[in-house]
Chain A
């Protein structure tokens, strides 16, 4: 996503305003306030301004760093992990069975266990909901439990790794059907201070500076379901979204 869109409009507007301020408004105010703004008073004003700004420096360092989002800002690592896990997930012939517990780039954000009430597992999702990719693995035993784990793939926004902020997809299990409701929209508001361009270009270079504003949503989330050995899987209309962990597409 291009972040410069807003600044593309705002910057010329700001430049225009500031030129008007410097060229017209300030001289106008000066003529009105010429009696008040002597050179001594102007120097005092400037001194006060610098004084306030200098005082802000120690103040910044004593501000407690509580309440902030403390997440990794290593977007490069996040992107590498995303590429790796994407490769492993979507090239199943070579990589399955995938070890979800060890797979780097996947962050487990929820885990639920449901009682298998019937001998069949069906899926239901709102048509407007993008159902995450679902991987199903059969257990070696018939223990009557369906274990559902959700994993968020590595995602970063503006250099911030937001993977651990992603909430798992809402789901419910009733009468052998695993349902995903539509009202599960997550809204994240993020703010970040960037170094000024005077520092950034020397420290990180232009390409790195541009990269730090990039967005990588990756593939979103995946759902990993472990089912009893003999449980029948009914994929219904979601066969393209559901995949057996052995690498074979599940058939009805």
Chain B
């Protein structure tokens, strides 16, 4: 019997470090996803309009697709972390539900920060590529040179969005692992609610993103993240050992 005391955080950190190494394939998926998204982004979105003798073809470019794809990636990662094969990775390590969830939380935070930074910088890469491959005489200078403030702003917001989405889907993933009925129940409840309360989705979005400052948005995300993590812990504690 060992007399050495181990703290919760040190075990969680060891598990986190172990998961970081074990789940590097998830990082590779993100890189591939973002490369695909950047290629799609090069196509731009737009349309053609005609007025008399004038015909205008207008295309807009942004890193929105890269961010959206990164959000999809983090959803998949968050759900995967709650599945049995990924949970079984913890088995060789000393720990409990709490350390396992804390390490998952740490992993999701790291993944969100990485994806947030790379997806925002993807917009910069897109601009650089377009500068060299596209005819600049058809490109408006306004909006091309991102200000450093906008870049930082976008990065922080992207990270916060990814954190929020990852914790929502981590919680939903845990619910499904706790009881498979939720795999059917959750989509039914979400779709049913959105059908009855048609403006609910928009209201939720507005609560977080419309007419709020960045600090307020960050505060809302942090509070929601803490609540979601707390509930996830409660759900996790009620699960069977082998789940």
Contacts and interface: CB of A to CB of B under 8 A. Distances in A.
A192 B140 contact: yes
A22 B45 contact: no
Contact of A42 (B27, B47, B61, B76): B27
B145 A6 contact: no
Interface in B127-169: 127-128, 130-131, 134-146, 150-151, 153-154, 157-158, 161
Contacts of B237: none
Given A1-B47, A196-B62, A57 B140 contact: no
B114 interface: yes
Contacts of B51: 155, 217, 220
Nearest to B48: A1
Contact of A63 (B37, B118, B128): B128
Given A53-B125, A129-B53, A191-B139, A196 B118 contact: no
Which of A59, A65, A69, A193 lies at the interface centre, i.e. has the most chain B CB atoms within 10 A of its CB? A193
A26 B64 contact: no
B209 A190 contact: no
A18 interface: yes
B125 A18 contact: no
A68 B121 contact: no
A157 B56 contact: yes
B62 A195 contact: yes
Interface residues of B, number: 80
Interface stretch (A78-86, A88-96, A201-209): A201-209
B28 interface: yes
Contact of B56 (A52, A190, A205): A190
B58 interface: yes
B65 A14 contact: yes
Contacts of B213: 202
Interface string B43-56: 11111010111111
B84 interface: no
A194 B141 CA distance: 11
B26 to A, nearest CB: 9
Interface stretch (A111-119, A181-189, A230-238, A240-248): A181-189
Interface residues of A, number: 81
Contact of B57 (A7, A61, A187): A187
A199 interface: yes
Given A19-B72, A70-B141, A196-B64, A191 B44 contact: yes
Contact of B32 (A19, A21, A67, A186): A21
Contact of A18 (B33, B54, B140): B33
A2 interface: yes
Contacts of B21: 39
Contacts of A15: 68, 72
Contacts of A158: 46, 58, 60
A140 interface: no
Interface stretch (A43-51, A99-107, A141-149): A43-51
A10 B40 contact: yes
26 contacts: A1-B49, A10-B43, A14-B40, A14-B69, A18-B37, A30-B25, A43-B27, A46-B24, A57-B121, A60-B128, A65-B144, A68-B136, A68-B137, A68-B140, A69-B141, A73-B140, A130-B53, A157-B56, A188-B56, A190-B138, A191-B134, A196-B62, A202-B212, A202-B217, A203-B153, A220-B54
Given A22-B33, A190-B138, A192-B60, 12 more contacts: A46-B31, A73-B140, A157-B49, A162-B56, A185-B53, A187-B57, A190-B58, A192-B142, A196-B154, A199-B150, A202-B212, A213-B60
> Nearest 4 CB-CB pairs, A to B?
A217-B51, A42-B24, A53-B121, A68-B141
Interface of A: 1-7, 10-11, 14-15, 17-19, 21-23, 26-27, 30, 37, 39, 42-43, 45-46, 49-50, 52-54, 56-57, 59-61, 63, 65-71, 73, 129-130, 132, 155, 157-158, 160, 162, 166, 169, 184-199, 201-203, 205-206, 213, 215, 217, 220-221
